[in-house]
Amino acid sequence: MPEGPEIAREADQIRAAVLDKRVERVHFGLPHLSRREAAFEDARVVSVRPRGKAMLIGFDNGLTLYSHNQLYGRWYVRKAGSLPKTRRQLRMAIETQDRWALLYSASEIDVLDEVGLSMHPYLAKLGPDVLDPTLEAATISARLEDRRFQRRGLGALLLDQSFVAGLGNYLRSEIAFEARLHPDQRPLDLDPADRRRLARATLKMARRAYETKGVTLPRSQAAALRRAGQSWSRARHWVFARARQSCRRCDDTIVRFDLAGRRIYVCPTCQVLR
């Protein structure tokens, strides 16, 4: 599933293609939304913003297109009249005179007015967005002391969008490793220095992944691995998807286990369970 950094990069592409432009057509591939197409005739795109793992595209008619990629959804931006070569099903198209923004495979799509936007069940529960440039580590550290989150294991908490929105499976492994904390620990188990370190790691890993198209290693380290012949996927992360490989810090063996129904990766030496 695309995580916050991937959705934010898609938003950048869509924004560059259609922001401030009049649409010639908005098309929905889901039958129950087709009757809403007429509402977008001659509407202008006024905003494109990610919110957690969702995309919000606002128009000057007061309506917002909400979408969530879930596991398989993917946005494409193409020249007008050009469709990508894919077997995916087209779910939504925003067509301007020169550029098209096309969403394939996603099924969680809605048309929302201002009230619907404020009451949407997914959006209403979201915590602060991890890629919000105004979000500070101190805010995340304070949330770790909130009663709602204190007794949650970190591995589950880092997937909870009401804690911090935009985090997902690869980021939780990388954040916990960067913070040198075991994902079975709880905020209640951490001292203030641990909480501050975890908060800083949360912002650092998410923002780095956004800037580098999903790479969480430092740029210089990832580049050195690529020069040594490793593929992009093998030179991408500290621990995620690296079971039975050597830790890049201490040379111990990375282990994988399931937590909150999804795979997670840990270095037993760098992330001792206290």
Answer positive or negative: Cα dihedral of 194, 197, 201, 202. positive
For tokens 């938003």, name the residue.
11
- Give DSSP secondary structure letters for 156-176: HHTT-TTTSBT--HHHHHHHH
- Whether 72 contacts 106, CB under 8 Å: yes
Q: How far is CA 154 from CA 91, 183, 188, 226, in A?
A: 35, 5, 10, 31
Those residues with Cβ within 8 angstroms of residue 221's Cβ, 6 or more apart along the chain or in another chain: 248
| DSSP character at residue 254 | P
Phi first, then psi, for residue 268 (nearest 5°) are -65, -25
Q: Which residues are catalytic?
A: 2-3, 53, 262
For 195, which DSSP code? H
Asked whether the beta carbons of 155 and 239 are under 8 A apart, the reply is: no
Strands (E), the chain: 23-28, 45-51, 54-59, 64-68, 74-79, 90-96, 99-104, 108-112, 255-259, 262-266
In this structure, the strands spanning 262-266 and 255-259 are antiparallel
Within a 10 A sphere around the Cβ of 114, how many other Cβ atoms?
Answer: 11
